[in-house]
Chain A
Amino acid sequence: MQTITLKLKDAVRSGIATVPVEVESLTPDQLFGKSEAELKAVKVWWGNREENTGDLFDVSVEGDAASADEVKIVMEGDLTRVKRIGSGMKAGEIEARGDVDMHCGALMEGGRIVVKGNANCWAGREMRGGELIIEGDAGDNLCAMYRGEMKGMTGGKVTVGGDVGECICQYMAGGEILIKGNANRLAGLNMSGGKITIEGDAELFGPDMTGGEIVMNGKVLEMMPSFKFLETATIDGVEYKKYLGDFAMGEKKAKGTLYVK
């Protein structure tokens, strides 16, 4: 195993405006095989400037890796303005120790990301595979598509320990997601595949749904009026009311399923 520790320098976070750092170039698959000097020279965007990783982060490397799967990146310091952590990553592990900014795990294809705090909007956006664990809350558009696209998350697994924002999993077409807290409005908007499980409370989930399933274990604050009650179903010994919809999309397209306790 190899552990690469990247600690954001305090100086990067000082000043009047907090200019974001974008770190999609710092994934295990891209950093695998690099010496410490090479690592420090990897370019990252800081606002509209390209900077060396070593100028923005304190870098330390321990151990060796035979493949990208054996590389673990630990990110430390104040990460609230660090965007695109693990974006597009294919293998290995990233552990972010703190709250992270937008697009964490976006376009991720493989490997594992653990966020030991909250994640801002667009985490897991258009995720294709791998595992994303957010121990705190996640913002809006978690695992959704980006503006205008017709596919959101298509694969992989996501777990959120806390609450999530609006429009999570919009245009979701595959994969699985577990929300341990509450979900704000419009979870699973335009969803066509995959599975969302919400342990907490939620309202107006599943609008324009044409496939996939949402399992609601918490309290339904407001139900979409365009779903049809089908039958009572039992999953793992628990009884659910099963609904079909969204009939706002037309009779033929209403192939989404809601399980409500």
Chain B
Amino acid sequence: MADGELLIRNGVVYDPINGVKGEKKDICIRDGKIVESVTNPKVIDAEGRVVMPGGVDIHSHIAGGKVNSGRLMRPEDGRKGLEAKTSVCRLQSGYSVPNTFATGYRYAKMGYTFVMEAAMPPLAARHTHEEMIDIPILDNAALPLIDNNWMTMEYVKSGDMDLLAAYVAWIIKATKGFGVKIVNPGGTEAWAWGKNCDLNDSVPYFDVTPAEIIKGLAEANEKFEMPHSIHVHTNMLGHPGNFEVTKDTYDLVKGVKPSKDRQVMHTTHTQFHSYGGTNWGDFESKADAIAGYINQNDHATIDIGSIILGDTTTMTADGPMEYSLYQITGRKWTNLDVELETGSGITPFLYSGKSPVNTIQWAIGQELALLVKDPWKIALTTDHPNAGPFIGYPIIISMLMSKKRRDESAEDMHKVIFDRAELPSIDREYDLNEIAIITRGMTAKALGLHEHGKGHLGVGADADVAIYDMSPEERDAGKIQKAFLNTKYTIKAGEIVVKDGEVVATPPGRTIFVTPECDQKLTDEMLVTLKDKFDKYYSVTFNNYPVQDAYLPNPYEIKAPMRG
């Protein structure tokens, strides 16, 4: 239950979507929304403290089959985050693969109120939604994987772009998903044949290229007024020299016209895709080339996927990448083929500051954030848990805000950082307004959620507010990190959920889903082919496939009309 009326008094407000850059301002809340004024509110004194909209995470793996497989295969990770239940919170476990409860509490403590689950295998959509129901506090949504799908590849091959759009609309609706997720297009399917795919390689059997798949899905996405663009994990993740592939991928969709005022492509965990060199020996940062491209072009946005040093669990639909990672570490791994749709792989990984490769990776994520001039084009992520767990965000924030902290950290890293990365020579420091952009404003806009009350504090917005226990003048990196790890208050839909760094209430979050409204005639034509696929190949029947409404107890629908 929302706390009726709330007044947050005298905070220093950073609300970049509304152009508020550190102004002393009161925030009024009634019935879970931001309002002009209140009459008899409960007052929160935020005098001298930093106030921001609730954080919006654009890319994180928090729910579903592979997250749960990660938990099952890593009991040792579960041990790391054990916290006994309290009168408010349920038992917490895990560090890189926290349980659902810990996921909700820890994000809320950092002032986040929305998290996008970044990869939902359509066939495992129910499992994903079940876990999202179990994650307290956070509003959430999930991006279904549509790229390595047989239907998609066949339509791209035959050039039936309208039917492709009909299929994309159907699968987003059937999975109660949010948008189009693309992960190593063609490569995950090729992995079923023991291979991988570069951008212009032909996918075995299907005879299409990853480039054609990406372009086709971008066009299909823009046939509807989708809140989000296609969301792409480009080919050749983690391979030395892959920055060329990344740039070529950006170029693919340059001519595609977005259906709304936003990017036409969001590419994710760009740190893993900004590599130079030809092998791990001459591996180097190419963050400058990627940032240069993003600076010169306006059609693509990125998130950084910054490394958090230490042990983590990598998990992705990019099966071949996980297998090569396993070959490097020799640690346990698993992978899965998801019928006609996608695949996945999981393996633990230790990012060490003593390793030259990890050191350069560590530098690249921060370089991207510092070299992209316009913060509206870049988001803070760690591709949780692939580059590190989300509870490392405050570390990245403190690094971006403090050159001193970066210099001190670089001293502890492998000396290769001074030769093959640019980080030590970058002087830029983020201010709080820019931090607010890369953690809320930009992410809400790139997801189109600013139109649905997320990521800002304008009248009518959701009353999701984070109050950090720090002065806007604070320059001490340690204190900044501490403040961003545990808020003074987090308010979710008008209810105080975190107070003084402790979770005090655990209301359920909402699941936001998109309904692309496709022409019925096209849908009917597409369904003939699709039903044939179900009859011949799927392990479930067509009628049992779509996620029922019961899996979204707190739904929020966004309709995406088809463009004429």
Contact = CB atoms under 8 A, between A and B. Distances in A.
B452 interface: no
Interface in B61-89: 73-77, 79
Interface residues of B, number: 7
Interface stretch (A7-15, A85-93, A146-154, A227-235): A146-154
Contact of A146 (B73, B76, B331): B76
A185 B425 CA distance: 58
Interface in A235-251: none
A10 B409 CA distance: 56
Interface residues of A, number: 5
Contacts of B76: 146-150
- Tell me if B's interface is mostly helix, strand, loop or mixed: helix
Contacts of B73: 148
Nearest to A148: B76
Contacts of A149: 76
A153 to B, nearest CB: 16
A62 to B, nearest CB: 34
A238 B208 CA distance: 70
A147 B74 CA distance: 8
Contacts of B74: 148
A234 B74 CA distance: 43
A147 B77 CA distance: 10
Nearest to B74: A148
B333 to A, nearest CB: 13
A149 B76 CA distance: 5
Contacts of A148: 73-77, 79
A245 B74 CA distance: 27
Contacts of A150: 76, 331
A150 B331 CA distance: 9
Interface in B150-205: none
Contacts of A147: 75-76
A66 B79 CA distance: 35
Nearest to A149: B76
A245 B466 CA distance: 58
Interface string B12-30: 0000000000000000000
A255 to B, nearest CB: 15
A209 B77 CA distance: 24
A149 B75 CA distance: 8
A101 B77 CA distance: 25
A146 B80 CA distance: 12
Contacts of B75: 146-148
Contacts of A146: 75-76, 79
Nearest to A253: B330
A150 B76 CA distance: 9
A94 B102 CA distance: 36
A150 B79 CA distance: 13
Nearest to B76: A148
B269 to A, nearest CB: 25
Nearest to A50: B84
A148 B73 CA distance: 7
Nearest to B78: A148
Nearest to B91: A48
A246 to B, nearest CB: 15
A45 to B, nearest CB: 9
A147 B76 CA distance: 6
Interface in B444-477: none
A146 B79 CA distance: 10
Contacts of B331: 150
A182 B287 CA distance: 60
B99 to A, nearest CB: 15
A147 B75 CA distance: 6
A50 to B, nearest CB: 9
Interface in A133-182: 146-150
Nearest to B73: A148
Interface string B329-353: 0010000000000000000000000
Query: Closest 5 CB pairs between A and B?
Result: A148-B76, A148-B75, A147-B75, A149-B76, A148-B74
14 contacts: A146-B75, A146-B76, A146-B79, A147-B75, A147-B76, A148-B73, A148-B74, A148-B75, A148-B76, A148-B77, A148-B79, A149-B76, A150-B76, A150-B331
Given A148-B76, A150-B76, 12 more contacts: A146-B75, A146-B76, A146-B79, A147-B75, A147-B76, A148-B73, A148-B74, A148-B75, A148-B77, A148-B79, A149-B76, A150-B331
